[in-house]
A and B are shown apart, each in its own frame.
Chain A
Amino acid sequence: MKRKPLKKTLLSLALATVLIIASSGVAFAADTTSTGEGSIEATVPVNGTINALTISVTHPASVEYVINPALGIGSAFVAPDITITNNTQVPISVTVKSLASAAGGTLQFADVANDAYDWANLGLDDTKAYIAMGVKIADDPAGWEAGYNTETRYAVDTGDSMFGSLATGNTGHLTMVANHGYAFDQKYTAVHNLVLMFDLV
């Protein structure tokens, strides 16, 4: 078999490469030719698409509490901490939107101010009628960014109460507090609704 001269082979290869590049639509710098004398400027637009962030928080859906007068004056209210974990890729702020007594238990308290009554000496009827319930950042503020709110937000207060912010991956704790009477004559259940609001910092 007669061999093709090397020169011809290289020429064919170069021609084929040119044809492939031309037909492939690959635009080398596409599309704009900058000409001029000396230094010239070329503007290359960089277009981006930015998607909205997903905010993700882990927290209790509801909080239960117990009032056990047998535990003594000042110690009878027991509630677990409200643990909040920020799974978002950026910091979030935590706000108490509302805290209010609600129907659904065997008795419904009226929310009153913390100093509204001499709680330890409250009679049967008033004990079953009134409570001063609040929420605050736990005594151990681990997880909360500096500048967090140290005040207690009571149910009788109105408006939003921003408590603080949590960095990504951090967990912070809120604590329920309450002043109440002690003259309970049977087992009761009561409901408060706490609404937390989460927002990008």
Chain B
Amino acid sequence: MKKFKDLNKKHRTIILTILGVILVALILLLLVKYGGLTLTPTTAPAASPTNSQSVLNDNREGIDGSYQSMTREEILADLQERQQVVTDQVSTNVTFSSGKAGSTGEWVMENPKSNSVIQQAEIYYGDDNVLIAKTEPVYPGQYIQAVELLESLKSGEYEALVYINYYNLNEKTFAGKAGYKVHLTVG
């Protein structure tokens, strides 16, 4: 302390100034770290998108006229062209000589050559719609004439529902279905 007092006034001022600067820097550092103070560089304000260019670059331009979406008629024509039409040919009677599960019955379903779908039929019986038969896939130009009984049935005459499921030829994805009421004879 005595040494510091011994220094001349000029040197003391310099040392005090340096110490002051260091103190201010330390305080700032502490504020940044713990006090939430953020230091942002001073930059020029960003230009808004509308005035980013002072001169229009018109190398590209829009299409003349007003936009016309497809008309109702054009949409309809497109949908009609894509519509998949099928023809079903099924016998109105399914006959099983025995009502024992596993027995083979007579029923004819034909998938005409003109169709572009695979057909697979399911036959349901009763109020609970019990599945009693399911055919193999029938491709266009093929037919089946026999079905296997999946559930035992008592002898008698019944009404049954046949659902023909359609599958796309390539993707084998489900495309729709239609139903037919048929007569069921169990011997």
**Would B85 and A57 count as touching, CB distance under 8 A?**
no
Asked if B166 is at the interface of the complex by the 8 Å CB criterion, the answer is yes
Task: Chain B residues near A97: list those with CB within 8 A.
Answer: 179
* Given known A-B contacts A55-B90, A199-B180, A66 and B83 have beta carbons under 8 A apart: no
**In the complex, number of A-B residue pairs with CB atoms less than 8 Å apart:** 100
Q: Which residue of A lies closest to B106 (CB)?
A: A52
Task: Tell me the minimal C-beta distance from A37 to chain B in angstroms.
Answer: 46
Stretch of B4-12, B45-53, B56-64, B73-81 lying at the A interface: B73-81
CB nearest neighbor in A for B179: A197
Interface of A is mostly: strand
Q: Evaluate contact between B76 and A78: CB separation under 8 angstroms.
A: yes
Determine chain B's interface SS by DSSP, over half rule. strand
Total contacting residues, chain A, CB less than 8 A: 33
Task: Kindly state the separation between the CA atoms of A62 and B18 in the bound complex, as whole angstroms.
Answer: 88
A198 CA / B161 CA spacing, docked (Å): 10
- How big is the B interface, by class? 20 to 34
B86 within 8 A of A: yes
Task: Report the Cα distance A67→B178, complex, angstroms.
Answer: 25
Given contacts A61-B175, A197-B179, A56 and B88 within 8 Å (CB-CB)? yes
- Selected A-B contacts with CB under 8 Å, 21 pairs: A52-B91, A54-B90, A54-B91, A56-B87, A56-B88, A57-B88, A57-B178, A59-B86, A60-B176, A61-B117, A61-B166, A61-B175, A64-B82, A78-B76, A80-B79, A193-B177, A195-B179, A196-B178, A197-B161, A198-B179, A200-B181
Using a CB–CB distance below 8 Å, which chain B residues touch chain A? 69-70, 72, 75-76, 79-80, 82-93, 108, 110, 117, 161, 163, 166, 175-181, 183
